[in-house]
Amino acid sequence: MQNKFGDNINITIFGESHGEKIGALIEGIEAGIKVDDNFIQELLSKRRPRGIGETQRIETDKYEIISGVFNSYTTGAPVCILIKNTNTKSSDYEYLKNHPRPNHADYVARMKFNGYNDYRGGGAFSGRLTAAIVASAGLIIPKLEEKGIYIATHIKEVQGINDLDLVNELDNNKIKSYIDIINNKSFPTISTCDIEMQSKIEETAKNGDSIGGICQTVILGLPVGTGDPYFSSIESKISEAIFGIGAIKGIEFGLGFDFKNHYGSEVLDEYIIKDKKISTNHNYNGGINGGIANGMPIVFNTAIKPTPTIKKEVNTVNLDTMKEEKMTVQGRHDPAIIRRIAPVITSMTALVIYDLIKEKK
């Protein structure tokens, strides 16, 4: 198992849901980056559960940096971040040793690792490991913002309840204001649809079911020419990293799959001069041409599946007896992961963009 990505920087995440600690090792990070503890803790807090519709397993996520930082600045050496697991109930998962949950990695993990996998809470496949991704991104997001690059992810849709779509928003000042709104809200939407979305999530949780949705990410300020064609395209790099986050089952850039509903003449991003700079009159392609940033905001959507663990009886098999059985999953789970996954998507995106920027430099 290789839990790493990146070309100019390498990020490896490690640990299990119910192990002693989880963490990340970041190699290739430049020296002289100021470590902002308050920012990292705030970013981690956005990922932590709260209220109805989210897991009751609440970790403090107090992190520890054991290498690569001296006097609050990165030294250029590999940075190792550790986060303790302090609120586990492993007994809830004993049943899963022989009874894989539908739509989880329980069965495939057992088969791949010959039964030696840690099945407690999903083990190494758990969303718990995303805390390490968020902490890692907390190191470099302020550095990106120093360079004028801003990133945010908002919940675009939950069961037909829609937030603003930023694909064809061309006003950078307005986009920046939206990014500020998103990044300053605990439930990341631009409009007040968050109230209706939360209500829908809570209703679903009370019914013992789960719910998914669509997140939308915007990147503002990425310089023209960043990226490469073909297999090193911005789309390729972002997609590879984003699909490393559990529960994400789809990604589209710009207009994405909706291109099928239009003629070419309807979706051209024609070049114009705006404020003495080259721009486009639309942004149907989401700020990317030929795998390379064209200077427009980069916009992409991610599809989040409903959490597979629900409080209803489901069908499974007993791996010892090879017979079909019924099960009701125990443990503490998220009926909706979409609010908590938004800062993880932002964090993963920030790590990819830092990697690309370092390459360009």
Residues 64-101: tens digit of each pLDDT: 999 999 999 999 999 999 999 887 776 767 777 888 88
Q: Are 11 and 4 in contact (CB under 8 A)?
A: yes
Q: Are 162 and 193 in contact (CB under 8 A)?
A: yes
Burial of 130 per CB tally in 10 Å (0-12, 13-18, 19+): buried
Quote the percentage of the chain above a pLDDT of 70. Answer: 95
Q: Are strands 150-158 and 213-220 parallel, antiparallel or unpaired?
A: antiparallel
Q: Which of 234, 235, 208, 213 is nearest to 223 (CA)?
A: 234
CA atoms within 13 A on the CB side of 260: 4
Residues 255-309: tens digit of each pLDDT: 999 999 999 999 999 999 998 899 999 999 999 999 999 999 999 999 999 988 7
Architecture in CATH of 4-360: 4-Layer Sandwich (3.60)
pLDDT at 56 over 80: no
Mean pLDDT confidence for 298-323: 90
CA distances from 309 to 107, 122, 124, 157, 313 (A): 14, 11, 17, 21, 10
Q: Are 291 and 231 in contact (CB under 8 A)?
A: no
Give the CA diameter of the chain: 72
Q: What is the pLDDT of residue 101?
A: 86
Q: What is the pLDDT of residue 93?
A: 74
The confidence band for 359, taking pLDDT boundaries of 50, 70 and 90, is low
Q: What is the pLDDT of residue 309?
A: 79
Taking the C-alpha atoms of residue 102 and residue 293, their distance in angstroms, rounded to an integer, is: 40
Tell me how long the chain is: 361
Mean pLDDT confidence for 168-195: 95
Q: What is the pLDDT of residue 98?
A: 87
Taking the C-alpha atoms of residue 91 and residue 236, their distance in angstroms, rounded to an integer, is: 40
Q: Are 245 and 349 in contact (CB under 8 A)?
A: no
What's the whole-number average pLDDT of the chain? 91
Q: Which residues of 81-111 are buried (b: 16+ CB within 10 A; e: fewer)?
A: bbbbbeebeeebbebbebbbbeebbbbebbe
Mean pLDDT confidence for 37-41: 95
Domain ranges (residues) in the chain:
4-360
Taking the C-alpha atoms of residue 39 and residue 192, their distance in angstroms, rounded to an integer, is: 25
Report which secondary-structure segment, H or E, holds 161.
Answer: strand 161-162
Joined together, the tokens standing for residue 63 give 């992190």
Give the other-Cβ count within 10 Å of 168's Cβ.
15
**Tokens 């300020």 appear where?**
221
Joined together, the tokens standing for residue 241 give 């990293």
